[in-house]
Amino acid sequence: MILFTSGSEAAPKVVPLSHRNIMANLADFAEAITFTRGDRLLGMLPPFHSLGFSGTQGDALVSGLPTAYQPDPTQGAQIAAMVDDFAITVTVGPLPS
């Protein structure tokens, strides 16, 4: 799989990920976050972002977690409505600096 860096400090760069790397990321997430049978995930990061791929798309696929996606994490009102509409119990995102 190939992801791209954000390009925040220079031109975006290609980052190849091996199968081993992807599986290690998913195992790390599974160890760090325990989902329950009733959980529902809200994904707000695009799947081409490393955390969006591993933390939302990958977690959902591996755990069978029902997932809703909001493509724009800056839309607070839409996110709040989705949390209510879809009974979201968990989300994954970067920590503030």
pLDDT in tens, the chain (97 residues): 888 887 788 898 888 989 999 889 888 888 888 888 899 999 888 777 777 788 788 878 888 889 998 878 888 899 999 999 999 999 877 766 6
Give the Cα separation of 1 and 51 in Å (integer). 14
CA angle 48, 69, 85 (to 5 degrees): 170
Give the Cα separation of 52 and 36 in Å (integer). 20
Tell me the whole-structure pTM to 2 decimals: 0.74
Q: How remote is the C-alpha of 95 from its chain's centroid?
A: 13
Q: Which fold has domain 2-92?
A: Rossmann fold (3.40.50)
